[in-house]
Amino acid sequence: MADALSLDEVVTFTSDLIRIDTTNRGGGDCRERPAAEYAAARLAEAGLDPVLLERTEGRTNVVARVEGSAPSADALLVHGHLDVVPAEAADWSVHPFSGEVQDGVVWGRGAVDMKNMDAMILAVVRAWARAGVRPRRDIVIAFTADEEASAEDGSGFLADRHPELFEGCTEGVSESGAFTFHDDQGRQLYPVAAGERGTAWLKLTARGRAGHGSKVNGENAVTRLAAAVTRIGEHRWPLRLTPVVRAALTELAALNGVETDLSDVDALLDKLGSAARLVEATVRNSANPTMLDAGYKINVIPGQAVAHVDGRYLPGHEDEFRATLDRLTGPDVDWEFEHREVALQAPLDSPTYARMRAAVEEFAPEGHVVPYCMSGGTDAKQFSRLGITGYGFAPLKLPPDLDYQALFHGVDERVPVEALHFGVRVLDRFLRTA
């Protein structure tokens, strides 16, 4: 059971982990080991036997197992990443790596993405150890490196090289779910993630004829690339509704007293008000140009130009995504995956989803739990290689003036102390009964 000490510890752990700078700049520029050692020490103090694992020096992962009371039950994976995205201190009200607690709020990079959840996991298992509590299922805890880049040093490495540590795990929970979303009708929604769009980070390469900038050139690589990028950026992807998104639309429509007319989804979204934000990014595939690289001198036409595109595809629609990119890039531009990961779906009629819903409703009876699909992705993609079905469940009770989704990778990332307390109580309730 969550106790008073666990409520204090979750704040301390969140603050301490934020102070450990685990900025992941990509390309291997990160060192999670100090945070991993901190987490492992807290687990060891609770009587667990954590193991530290690295594919690359300094890129450390932690895995531990809590034995359940029902040996025949499938195990549950609970995972959180230790790395964070960069933060520019000059842009912040409070230094992003201070972990400062001001007026009941913990500030810093990772406060919601996702050192808060890491701290909740630590606080819960330590409370169990003090009370002599055992969960029903084995709980496998994994703190990972490299989620904010390719995951090759983190969950990908663990899934590929150390699958034995996850023996028996059939389901997993991690970030981006069970947070308070305040709609414009004054309702409190708690979206629990049961799907993720696939990741398709693309490199586009246009080739042409190099030459002098003053000469006519019908094979200009920059022009070819610019045309392809424009086509991609302006493309309107068709509606594609997955089972999870259909369920989300149906439940949100019912809450708003609106007929669920899935023949005109755009009109339905308009009727959902601010709640449409939970689903509008996941009714289609997407591809957004993000980077351009061409040329080296103003009077030289380069022979090659490169762009990068952040693509995302819905479960069951990767083939359509590929075919569309072939058409939009055209004959003069090649494209390839720089990083690709699968799209995910999880069942909404599972006992685990029902127990997540029940845990939230026990501590937020005024709230409405709804399913949703993440527009981005998590380490659940890599763990799915082991047959583990992933859900997003990192509970937080947030005030109306705190936009949870805007804080991800944003400036002034922060989390209320009361939100952490709620998270510990809900996570404890769910994990003990899962």
Residue 293 CA to residue 23 CA, distance in Å, equals 25
The closest alpha carbon to 392, from 349, 356, 417, 419, belongs to: 356
The closest alpha carbon to 10, from 429, 430, 428, belongs to: 428
- List CB contacts of 37: < 8 A, sequence separation 6 or more: 52, 60
Residue 46 CA to residue 51 CA, distance in Å, equals 14
68 neighbors 134 (Cβ within 8 angstroms): yes
State yes or no: is 147 an active-site residue: yes
The closest alpha carbon to 243, from 270, 258, 262, 271, belongs to: 262
Helix axes 33-45, 115-131, angle to 10 degrees: 20
3-state DSSP assignment of residue 137: coil
What is the DSSP code string of 84-135?
Answer: B----GGG-SS-TTS--EETTEEESTTTTTTHHHHHHHHHHHHHHHHHT---
146 neighbors 22 (Cβ within 8 angstroms): no
Locate 164 and state its tokens. Answer: 């034995």
* Candidate list 83, 113, 341, 413, residue with the active-site label: 83
Maximal CA-CA distance, the chain: 80
- List CB contacts of 187: < 8 A, sequence separation 6 or more: 255, 368
Residue with tokens 């629609």: 317
Residue 199 CA to residue 194 CA, distance in Å, equals 16
State yes or no: is 83 an active-site residue: yes
Residue positions counted in the chain: 434
The count of other CB atoms within 10 Å of the CB of residue 67 is: 12
What is the DSSP code string of 274-313?
Answer: GGGGGTGGGSS-EEEEEEEEE-SSTTEE-SEEEEEEEEEE
The closest alpha carbon to 199, from 401, 377, 16, 19, belongs to: 377
* Candidate list 32, 118, 138, 147, residue with the active-site label: 147
Amino acid identity for residue 176 in this structure = S
Cα-based distances in Å from 11 to 159, 423, 432: 30, 11, 21
Strand partners, 293: 306
As annotated, the active-site residues are 83, 147
